[in-house]
Amino acid sequence: MTDIEFNKNEDAMKMAWSRVRRELEKIYEGGGKKANQKQHEKNKLTARERIKYLCDDDKPFVEIGAFAGFEMYEEYGGCPAGGTVSGIGYVSGRQCIVVANDQTVKAGAWFPITGKKNLRMQEIAMENKLPVIYIVDSAGVFLPMQDQIFPDKEHFGRIFRNNAKMSAMGITQIAVVTGACVAGGAYLPIMSDETLMVEGQGSIYLAGPYLVKAAVGEDIDNETLGGAATHTEISGIADYKFKTEQECLDQVKKIIAKLHPAQTAGFNRIAAKLPAKGNGEIYGVMSEGNSKPYDMLDLINCIVDADSFDEFKKDYGKTIVCGYARVDGWAVGIVANQRLIVKNKKGEMQMGGVIYNDSADKAARFILNCNQKKIPLVFLQDVTGFMVGSRSEHSGIIKDGAKLVNAVANSVVPKITIIVGNSYGAGNYAMCGKAYDPRFIYAWPTAKIAVMGGEQAAKTMLQIQVASLKAKGQEVSAAEEKAILEKITQDYNRQTVPYYAAARLWVDQIIDPGETRKMISEGIAAANNNPEIPELKTGVFQV
């Protein structure tokens, strides 16, 4: 690659990340500057200020789900970050899950995506045995959408079921009540191990003063009904009360500091080395629009510790690169799609980004090896799918693909997936997409997630639509066909971008490519908190 090509690639990637950053800046405002100002006028911190005060300054905070709800619920004014701020941070030196309601967004009400995001954070806590800190300030379920958040298995009630399950698992849960905690939401702090309340701000009750008046005719104010004094002195529901949020959060730090040291899975780690390629070089590997082949090894060498990558079956199944390496000192197994056009063992050319029989076979074997050695797996996705056509079908591509999917599905070591480019069709599944339980899944700004590429999908849908119109006796001119194709392509492409995926939590976050190494390292650190690694069982598959 020439310096000019590298500079063009770098500029395009940094521009793509710049757009992500601009959108994040808007999201970080929550309900807007005026809403934040009102919060301060009530002597209350915003959700992000609470997390900043709680978490250790010298350690990273990995936000999860910042784009949740992005460009959704616009008929209700939107729901930035799904109405909650959440992630993995360090409190008193201990890695913890933190979930904070954002009261500036519809009074912290729960939209459908809010429930999904909170369940995702609890899932992360359960998978990695991490303590959970809930900072509660919520008006409860967003009533106009109650049918989409209240009754189903993965809805609001599942959160309280998870509270109970986590308690049985020995996972510490602490609730800090800094505002309203109403109706069903009142169960969350009470099902936590310890509940802390802010005097004059926090309140917990099944029904607020207005509903109490309507239901039983009683006149009562917030504090008397369910304030900090009521629940620490009369009902005994809460454990501590404090005059300020800061005092409340200081107590949380003290509680976490006294926890028993976490048992670990014992994943191998040594002193870290910087990558062989400088961190800035990662921005120049891929071309604008990911339109040209590139060597995945260049990207890998921007992420892994210098001189640590040992490639597995280097000369076989070349459209997937596999190998052992270290990331920030952690031992990892890497499975990555090779985007170069390569020759197979027979000297035949193979398209980059496509999974062939031999590459599927190699990757499946490598994944089983990593499970045998208890080495966490990192998947770097830039895949257009499995190879099609009679030759591949006759060679048993479905069988070899199923073998790979079986290995990924039954893998018991932690899996971390980074979608750097394309993530199409069954390739998404085979390379550990969301459906295959990665501990964490992140997307670069260049990610595209869909059942197939936009051009192919649009042409397929066009043929179906035109055939349907003609079957009804309607003539379709070339100009009309072109207009239909453009509309289909536009709609389809809108659904493939990482913003669309992150809004629906198909990925945990859109990340800066330069922070890929950090995200992998923090992910393994989190996974290392769970000492229980099940026995590997792969079931039945064709060989």
Q: From first to last of the 543 residues of the chain, give the pLDDT tens digit.
A: 788 999 999 999 999 999 999 999 999 999 999 999 999 999 999 999 999 999 999 999 999 999 999 999 999 999 999 999 999 999 999 999 999 999 999 999 999 999 999 999 999 999 999 999 999 998 888 888 988 888 888 888 899 999 999 999 999 999 999 998 887 678 888 899 999 999 999 999 988 888 888 889 999 988 999 999 999 999 999 999 999 999 999 999 999 999 999 999 999 999 999 999 988 899 999 999 999 999 999 999 999 999 999 999 999 999 999 999 999 999 999 999 999 998 887 888 888 899 999 999 999 999 999 999 999 999 999 999 998 788 888 777 888 899 999 999 999 999 999 999 999 999 999 999 999 999 999 999 999 999 877 677 777 787 888 788 778 888 878 887 788 888 887 877 888 999 999 999 999 999 999 999 999 999 999 999 999 999 998 888 766
Output the pLDDT for position 542: 66
Structure tokens at 345: 């063992």
DSSP SS3 for 482: helix
Output the pLDDT for position 446: 97
Q: Where are the alpha helices (DSSP H) in 425-497?
A: 425-430, 454-471, 478-494
The rounded radius of gyration (Å) of the Cα atoms in the chain is: 25
Opening angle at CA 54, ends 51 and 59, nearest 5: 90
Output the pLDDT for position 474: 83
Strand partners of residue 241 = 197
Q: Are the beta carbons of 360 and 401 closer than 8 angstroms?
A: yes
Categorise residue 420: left if φ over 0, alpha if ψ from -120 to 50, beta otherwise.
alpha
At residue 393, what are phi and psi to the nearest 5 degrees?
-65, -45
The H or E element that residue 521 is part of is helix 516-527
Nearest in space to 195 (alpha carbons), one of 242, 258, 240? 240
Kindly tell me the burial class for residue 196, based on how many C-beta atoms sit within 10 Å of its own C-beta (0-12, 13-18, 19 or more). Answer: buried
Question: For residue 182, what are the CA distances in angstroms to 39, 148, 186, 226, 250?
Answer: 19, 19, 5, 10, 25
Q: What is the DSSP secondary structure assignment for residue 292, as one 8-state letter? A: S
Structure tokens at 38: 């009102």
Q: pTM here?
A: 0.94
The Cα 165–Cα 145 span in angstroms is 27
